[in-house]
Each structure stands twice: as structure tokens, then as C-alpha cells.
Chain A
């Protein structure tokens, strides 16, 4: 159980797919002009990641390694198509505002990378923990970026007016360059957070060793 938890935790900060591994960036910056888009994209992505990893992990002994990449692509594309059709049917507005980025989940490097590096080698339980961790790591960054951009660029949070009327929205944050800007600051923040956590972990280890001695 403890091992599963540590696998789950990896994706959130230490190996955060967006901020540390720098993969799957396209959709992350593009759809984050408002919080509801961020949540929608995060959930869609987590769904595809979870089910592709489960399927690949279950069939990992049957798939010949020479043709594994095409097999992975087909599995991922099938789940992406599902998400795309469901979104079009039940959330037409959300689907329209995210446009081409829903079908693009299929070439999202996070999914391909995790399937290739993790799911094709591990047991089912570890795979579920990994995909949920990675999915959550992806989603929190999306929501974070979206919150900053929506709040400063539009004065709202998930569509609700938050800032006082006297607040003049800074259009820059909603526009594409603002996305890059906020994302750059997020990476910087995550690097700082990681360093800090490493320092405290080392300090705790030292204290424990001193106590033992």
C-alpha cells in the first residue's frame, strides 16, 4: 500500500508531467483561459490516461514488443474518440471552446510516455495509482494556471464575478502570450517547491539519524 502511495505521489510534484517532465504542454496552456475548461480538460485527460494504462497493463504480456507502438496508439485513439463524442453530446459548449485540443489528447506525450515507460511493465494496481497521480498532477496545474489567468484577465473564477467592479481586467493574461508567461512562473514555483521539500526531507532524515545515534 505504501509503495502504491509513493507511486501516486510521484506524479503530483516530483515528476509532475507538465512542470518537471515538460511533456503534454500544448493542451495545458491552450485551454486554460478559464477554470471550467481546465477542469474539463484535466478530467478528459485523466480518463484517457487511466483506461489506456489499464488496458495496456492487462494485455502487456500478449502485445508483441515489435508492434507495441501502433497498438498503444490504437488503444489511446479509441478512448480519445470516446471522450470526444461524449463531450460533443453532453457538453457541447465546453467541447466547442476546447476545439481541436480534445482530439489532440491522442498525441499527448504524457499518455504515450506513461504507457510506454510504466504501464507496459507494471501490474494493474501500480498502474492505476500511477495514472491517477499523473492525472491529478496534470489537473492541478491546469486549474492553477486557469485560475490565475481567469482572475487577472477577466475578473472571474469559473464564470463567477469575483473581483470588484472597479478592477480593470488585464487582457494580457487571457491572450496567448499571457499563457506562456503564467506557465513559466508556475515552472519556477514548482522548482522552488521541489527544492524546499528536498531540503526538509534531508533535515528530517538527519534528525532521525541523530536520534538513533
Chain B
């Protein structure tokens, strides 16, 4: 019952996009988000879509994976679209029924919100699909390193994220095992109302928490006995390097930004 939960959705690959420095991809994704919000004309969504399509093509991640990450959002997307369509009252009124009305401004807003959401989710999905969780935390740590000057615990934060990610599958497996054991003792997780079902989870959650604490304790011991003492003076196994492709990716994003800005001014 817990085995099906997957966090992170890395799609293993060897493409130019996979090989980009995680820092490039993180900054690139932030830049992409900003670009999406700079789009002022519907037509200007086209180059942004084109960018995502090309990036997906280069990454060799099947389109269906991107689609899969959008699917859970379909209800929110439809809801946002309908809400904006009927609530926004700017522009010419095209149709009216009591308090409900559709205006040109409403249509525009509804389209904008929906398209923006789709683009944002696709962009971030592409990042998590092409970057290992470890790569992401590594990149994040290095990006946050300058903040160490103001006592920001960049290394500790990254280490915590790495450990958390590492232990998700372990804890899932453990939860599975404990719930099997409790089912063997007659526990019933499947019938009854919400309150009863929540109560039925206690025999699983208590042992799970205890084991999580035990594991944390053991891991801390194991790390300390291998002389771990925080990030200071620690070298890395995989040194991140920016190369030609990172430069090209940055150029592509700058170009996209320029196109979007120019489109907004000229059209």
C-alpha cells in the first residue's frame, strides 16, 4: 500500500540536458519562471512552448512523462480556467446570466493563468526529470554557499535534504512491512469511516516513528565514526563544472527572454 508512492521522478538518461550542471538547470528554471511571467501577449507563449518542446526533445524524456506530471493538475487547471472566465469583469461583456458573465478580459485572464500554470509545471518537471535528487541538492548547496557569509547553513540544509531523500524508499519499505505485520494481527486498514481508518494507522505510525528515530541515531553514529564534522573543509566526490553546453543553455534562455520582451513591446 505504500510501495506505489514515488517521490521525485528522475528519468535516467545520458542526454545533453541530463549532463548540464545542476546549477545551470536550477538557475535556468528560475529564469524560465520569470520569463513566463513576462509574457504579456498570448502569441508570445508560442516561443516559450517551443523552448520547452526543444528542451524535452533534447533530453530524450518521452513527452508522455511530461504529460503524466500535468495530469494530476487537470482539475485545478479546469477550476482556475472556469473561475477566471466567470469572475473577471474587465473588457467587453459577451454573455451574461444573473451574476455570471463572460467578458473579453475574463477569457484573456483565464487563458493566461492556465497556460502559465502548464508552462511552470512542465518547466519544473523537466528539471526533476533530468536531474538526480542528489544532483539537485548538490547544485542547491553550491548555489547557496555565498550565503554562508551570513551564517546560512547551506551545507547542513543540503545534507538534510540528501538524507531525507535517501531514506524515503527505506521508510516506505518499513511502513509496508509493519503494516503487513499488523494485518497479520488482524488490523484492518480498509473498512470504516475516516476516523476509524485514521485510528487504525496508529499501530503502523508508532513503530515507524520509533524506527525512524533509531535509524537517525544509527546514521549519526556511523557518520561521526567516519569523521563527519559538518561541511567545513569537506571536498566533494563529484565536482560540478560548467561547460560549453551550460553556456549554450544560458544563451538559449537569454534569447528566449529577449524574444518575449521584444514581442511584448512590438506586437
Q: Do A and B bind each other?
A: no
Chain A residues close to B by CB (< 8 Å): none
Chain B residues close to A by CB (< 8 Å): none
